Amino acid sequence: MDQNKQKHRLYWGIIICLLFPFLAQAKKVIESGKLQDELPVIQEYYFYYSHQGWEVRVYLADQNRYVIQFADSSTEIVDVMDLSRGTYSIREDTIHFKDEILSFTFTALRTDNDLHFLSGFSYLKDLVIERELLSPYASTVEAQFVFAERKMVSPGWEEKLGIAILNRTQYPQFCEHTMQYQCEYAYALTIRPNGSYTWYFQTYPISEGTWTLRGNLLICKDTTLNFNFHCIVVSTTLIQSMLMPGDYQGVTLVLKEPKTL
């Protein structure tokens, strides 16, 4: 190879090295722009405030996407969780919601001014939520936080759930008295010898129904939603969510002091 070709390649190598940081930054800008273009536009917003200190927020966007949030507003710092997010369809005046992670469904009747939930979690059923107006600016800001912010789903949770289904570990003395499991933040699960359970976000009951134990798989059937949620019994003192309502991390819950009925 002659010296001119070597110099030519060397020059191009130097130029590419010098331009690489700028090209990488440009790529990020382009991708960021694409992300902004893909963000849905919030078309309708519904808000409900309970005097007990909790809120329900419903966001309906284009692309048939929705987010429903439950918030604890009893303190200065409002703690918010995504109760459900996914896609919706409208048939006549009824909105049909389908959760994108667990595929449970529920419905609401839409009028000009409010949403009337016909099914769903116990506190949602028969709840009427008024429609609120959002300015174009507020809609954009809300979309940034509500739709662009994705919750990280616990990796491999479906595989863990499948293994638990095949597990034959027995806990013959499981739940001889009321037991409460809690994680370090937000969530708690109470199970009772009469076969009932309650799943909490902070101090608010989110899901209620009946439980059964198959091997080390704790099946929590929300009797209002008519859907099975699951936990894995690691030991009698340790339970892992797989996945309970609002929990996308697969949180671990530790047994607290036993309660008596």
The pairing of strands 179-182 and 187-191 is: antiparallel
Same domain, yes or no: 120 and 193:
no
> Rounded to an integer, what distance in angstroms lies between the CA atom of residue 121 and that of residue 128?
13
Residues shown for the chain: 261
Torsion region of 90: left, alpha or beta (phi above 0 gives left; psi -120 to 50 gives alpha): beta
Based on the fold, state whether residues 63 and 142 are members of the same structural domain: yes
Same domain, 32 and 47: no
Query: Are 137 and 46 found together in one domain?
Result: yes
Q: How far apart are CA 240 and CA 189, in angstroms?
A: 10
In a domain, 121, yes or no: yes
Supply the pLDDT for residue 168: 63
The whole-number pLDDT of residue 84 equals 93
Is residue 198 located within the same domain as residue 221? yes
Q: How far is CA 197 from CA 4, 87, 192, in A?
A: 79, 28, 6
Model pLDDT, residue 88: 97
Task: Specify the pLDDT at position 147.
Answer: 78
On whether both 129 and 51 belong to a single domain, the answer is yes
56: Cβ contacts below 8 Å, ≥ 6 apart: 46, 47, 48, 68, 69, 70, 71, 83, 124, 127, 129
Number of domains making up the chain: 3
Of 93, 124, 146, which one is at a domain's C-terminal end? Answer: 146
* Separation of alpha carbons 198 and 210, rounded Å: 9
Range of the domain at 12: 1-38
43, 122 Cβ separation under 8 angstroms: no
Q: Digits of tens for pLDDT over the chain (261 positions)?
A: 554 434 444 443 443 454 345 444 434 433 444 444 567 788 899 999 888 889 999 999 988 999 999 998 887 878 888 999 999 999 999 999 999 989 999 999 999 899 999 999 988 888 999 999 887 767 777 777 787 666 567 667 677 767 666 666 677 678 889 999 999 878 999 999 999 999 999 889 999 999 999 888 999 999 999 999 999 998 889 999 988 999 888 899 999 865 443
Q: pTM of the prediction?
A: 0.78
- Phi first, then psi: give them for residue 21, nearest 5 degrees: -60, -35
Angle value at C-alpha 204, between 203 and 207, nearest 5 degrees: 130
**Peptide bond preceding 166 in cis form (omega within 30 of 0):** no
* Alpha-carbon distances, residue 70 vs 60, 133, 201, 207 (angstroms): 15, 19, 9, 12
Q: Is residue 152 part of a domain?
A: no
Whole-number pLDDT of residue 77: 79
The CATH number assigned to the domain holding 95 equals 2.40.128
